[in-house]
Amino acid sequence: MRIALAQTPGFQEPEENLAVVADKAREAAGRGASLVVFPEASSQAFGTGRLDTRASGLDGEFPRGVLGLSRELGITIVVGIFRPADTVERGEKTINRVSNTALVAASGEAIVYDKIHTFDALGNRESDTVRPGTELVIFSHEGVRVGVAVCFDVRYPEQFRELARRGAELVVLPTSWAAGEGKLEQWRVLTRARALDSGAFILAADHALPDGPTKGPTGIGHSVAVAPNGTVLAEAGEGPELLVVDIDPGDAAEQRRELPIL
């Protein structure tokens, strides 16, 4: 199976971001990839303004564009979007929260996973503006079971182990990883650890490192594909890049036979 990790810059406007997704999806398909994973928050980068003003249902321009690309190219596209969720009170503020969603566009059909573990850490309160999801999601791609997680989920090994118990051989991980001291090393350790915890491939796509200062967790690059035994198959640099990797999903079953930790 040939997969691609699209390490893209993130912009404010969904139309601009859709153009980036379209360009990289076409390049991935042209290079023979049947599955391409984009970062979290691909429809609107964090730190570029209120999320609720640009969030949309699956009938919005950005999701419809991605679904159309999937249908046109005959590939599966995984991409981070925001959808309207609920309204909450935070002090004297009324906030329209969104769902931080990984949209799986498979031959034009939509599957959605809403990020379960919000980034309420290191001075951030994502749950103030994002409603946490509650359901694990697994989909089928070329007969292979694929689990879905988003960014901060990677710090919760039980989620990846449960996806594996439910049959996931790969886990796709759209991400917008916050910069900071030690964060690259943590990213590398966590993605490899989750592969070893689950005996599954981890296919993690991060945003490219921005050129200048940012207001949010907008990515540090280093998108990575990790084998079920923890081996790094490929890792991107800091800038925009399309990482194309060939994997054998059967390696997951082999790893679990050798180390039956589930």
- pLDDT at residue 122, rounded to an integer: 87
Which of the two residues, 91 and 61, has the higher pLDDT score?
A: 61
The predicted model gives 240-252 an average pLDDT of 97
Instruction: Map out the domains of the chain with their CATH numbers.
Output: 2-258 (3.60.110.10)
The predicted model gives 67-81 an average pLDDT of 97
Catalytic residue among 40, 169, 235, 241: 40
pTM above 0.75, yes or no: yes
24 as an active site residue: the answer is no
Catalytic residue among 24, 126, 151, 235: 151
Mean pLDDT over each residue of the chain, to the nearest integer: 96
Q: Are 115 and 155 in contact (CB under 8 A)?
A: no
Closest CA to 130 of 206, 201, 216, 59: 216
User: Per-residue pLDDT for 114 more than 80?
Assistant: yes
162 as an active site residue: the answer is no
- pLDDT at residue 210, rounded to an integer: 87
Residue 13, judged by CB atoms within 10 A of its CB (0-12, 13-18, 19+), counts as middle
pLDDT tens-digit series, residues 123-170? 889 999 999 999 999 999 999 999 999 999 999 999 999 999 999 999
181 as an active site residue: the answer is no
Catalytic residue among 24, 115, 169, 241: 115
pLDDT tens-digit series, residues 9-26? 999 999 999 999 999 999
